[in-house]
Structure 1
Amino acid sequence: MHQPIIDSHIHFDLYKEDEKRHILKVMEAYKVTDLISVSRHAQSAQENIELAKQDERVKVSIGYHPEQKLPNQNEVDKLFELIDGYQDEIVAIGEVGLPYYMRKDNRSIKVEPYLNLLEKFVQKAKELDLPIVLHAIYEDAPIVCDLLEQYSVTKAHFHWFKGDAKTVKRMIDHHYFISITPDVLYEAEIQSLVQSYPLSKMMVETDGPWPFEGPFQGQMTHPKMIHETVMKIAELKQCEVAYIYENLFQNTKDFYKII
């Protein structure tokens, strides 16, 4: 029997219109109570704000996804105007971070300008006492941890995290949150992370519409997939499924201050 759950990281604005309508229509049936919809840039943020106005189950996070060309100053100004203007409505700053995959493909890309932009977002999260949603994996994660520690930011959510044991320990020590995607069903690296990370600092996500493999091959990424993620976490943690549901749901509500 499914229990209530929250998709803690989804790019809801990226879905086609009919897909959005379908997801919103069936959320209640699948006991998905809320969607934390993260933004990629200013236009994405505005689209998410409109979606939230139409359906209060869509919770907005405003940021600039790092796996793209750096924004110009006008774009940066617009983003921070939106954050300030909607600071009482949004639930977080994000998705922000460092361009790991772009730099892997193109070694000429410098990390420093992205780090400077990320620092501005970290400062704003600290100023407004909002959580920050991070795209920071492997060797980028310690760099981001340094920045969080510099500004004493503790409300950090590393989505779809991947990294070494030393960084995992550091994140646990600082009480940072992670979220687990449906690839936990078939990726040993993510399964190992689940086993080592405290349930008290864990959430679940889809990162939709990003597609998945394994049992989800060829399917539209849907928040209902989270239930299979929960079942796998329960198996890996050797805990009752109901207990896992209750903790993941409450963790996400508390972290994002969802009433």
Structure 2
Amino acid sequence: MSDKHYQNYHSIIFDYMRQANVQSICVSEDFNSSVEALSLKEKFFKDSDLFRVFVGIHPQFAKVSSDMRLFEGLFQSKLDFIDGIGEIGLDPTYANLDPDNTLERQKIVFEKMLHLAETNNKPVSLHSRRSVNEIMEILPSYKIRNAVFHWYDGNKSNLKRINDKGYFVSFGPYLLYSSDKQTLLKEADINLILVETDGPVKYKNCFEGALTSPSLVVSIVYFASVLLKKSIDDLTEILYMNSTRFMN
């Protein structure tokens, strides 16, 4: 919700969340989006748990050294409004695109984010594209309350490693048309799955590039219930309990 694509739709989306009693997590990617997410929380949901805020520095922006200094100050000053750390992680794609944004630099920022999460007992949302092995080498050395490998896109063996450590994986709207993601969902520990939209990503096929909103969660849960051969009520209860444990 802190992304500029949502600026003209806040009132519509927030009204839907209140009327449907949908709790959402607004995940940040840098200092500015963290500030915006916290501002939305204070402006629209100051006395409500429907809007949760995760702040963090995405690996795409790890090279911006000023962000880290500003971020740490923001984190301490707004700690009471912060529910978790994210989106954080590693991604060699960005190192290939920008020689200044090396994996070494990304790891420094990533470990600083994990230290904040450990010290303040916060869950984390992880970006792990092409880097699950590297993240799994680092993550267990921190006492992280809970972690989710958001938009999990790895293989089955790594999925088992992740679940065996008690970490969550999340699935988004692509589940409705991606056979690979459908297979991964079936392989995942049902007690360690979460659902997400990853807005403002626009999805193809049945979604026709529409702007992502929390309302899409209903479609994801329904389709997942079909894949897992559960009633929608049963899966909704499982996902609610999973989310509660993840957020503690």
Fold shared per TM-score above 0.5: yes
2:37 maps to 1:48: yes
The whole-number CA distance in structure 2 between the counterparts of 1:104 and 1:252 is: 35
- Of the three residues 26, 36, 43, the one matched with 2:16 is 26
Paired residue for 2:28? 39
Match of 1:91 among 67, 83, 86: 83
1:15 aligns with: 5
Aligned 8 A contact 1:62 1:90 in 2: yes
Using structure 2 for the length normalisation, give the TM-score: 0.91
Report which structure shows greater RCO (CA 8 Å, sep ≥6).
1
Q: Per the alignment, in what secondary structure is the counterpart of residue 15 of structure 1?
A: helix
Query: Any conservation in 2 of the 1:209–1:221 contact (CA below 8 Å)?
Result: yes
Tell me the equivalent position of 1:61: 54
Please name the residue that 2:156 is paired with. 165
Query: Structure 2: 5+ residue runs without aligned partners?
Result: none
Aligned residues: 244
Task: For 1:240-251, list aligned pairs within 5 A.
Answer: 240-251=231-242
Paired letter, 2:8: D
On the 8 A contact 1:94/1:134 being kept in 2, the answer is yes
* 1:82 aligns to 2:74 (yes or no): yes
Q: Does 1:71 align with 2:64?
A: yes
- Deviations along 1:81-110, one digit per CA (max 9) or x if unpaired, are 122222222110111111243246568853
- The AA in structure 1 aligned to 2:4 is L
Matched, 1:201 2:192: yes
- 1:154 and 1:58, CA in 2 relative to 1: closer, same or farther beyond 3 A? closer
- 1:148-227 to 2 correspondences below 5 Å: 148-227=139-218
Q: Return the alpha-carbon distance in structure 2 between the equivalents of residues 224 and 22 of structure 1.
A: 11
| Aligned counterparts of 2:157 and 2:229: Cα–Cα separation in 1 | 24
1:155 Cα offset (Å): 1.1
The CA deviation string for residues 56-105 of structure 1, in whole angstroms up to 9 with x for no partner, is 23211110111246112x32111111222222221101111112432465
CA offsets, 1:26-77, max 9 Å, x none? Answer: 2234x252221111111111111110012223211110111246112x3211
Distance in 2 separating the partners of 1:144 and 1:158: 10
- Aligned-partner residue type, residue 231 of structure 2: E
Stretch of structure 1 that moved more, 245-254 or 102-111: 102-111
Question: How far apart are residue 122 of structure 1 and its match?
Answer: 0.9
Spell out the pairing of 1:137-152 with structure 2 (5 A cutoff). 137-138=129-130, 140-152=131-143
Preserved CA contact (<8 Å) 2:91 2:129: no
Alpha carbons of structure 1 residues 106 and 70: separation in structure 2 relative to 1, 3 Å? closer
Is the contact between residue 26 and residue 53 of structure 2 (CA under 8 Å) also seen in structure 1? yes
Give the whole-Å Cα distance in 2 for the aligned partners of 1:128 and 1:76.
Answer: 17
| Structure (1/2) with the larger helix percentage | 2
Q: 1:100 to 1:58 in 2, by over 3 A?
A: farther
3-state DSSP class of the match of 2:59?
coil
Deviation of 1:177 (Å) = 0.8
The answer as to whether partners of 1:204 and 1:226 remain within 8 angstroms in 2 is yes
CA distance in 2, matches of 1:32, 1:198: 26
Q: What is residue 4 of structure 1 aligned with on the other side?
A: none
User: Which residue of 2 is the match for residue 3 of structure 1?
Assistant: none
CA distance in 2, matches of 1:232, 1:100: 32
Deviating more after overlay: 32-41 vs 115-124: 32-41
- Residues 126-141 of structure 1 aligned to structure 2 (within 5 Å): 126-138=118-130, 140-141=131-132
AA aligned to 1:60 is V
SS of equivalent residue, structure 1 residue 33: coil
Deviates more, 1:13-22 or 1:187-196: 13-22
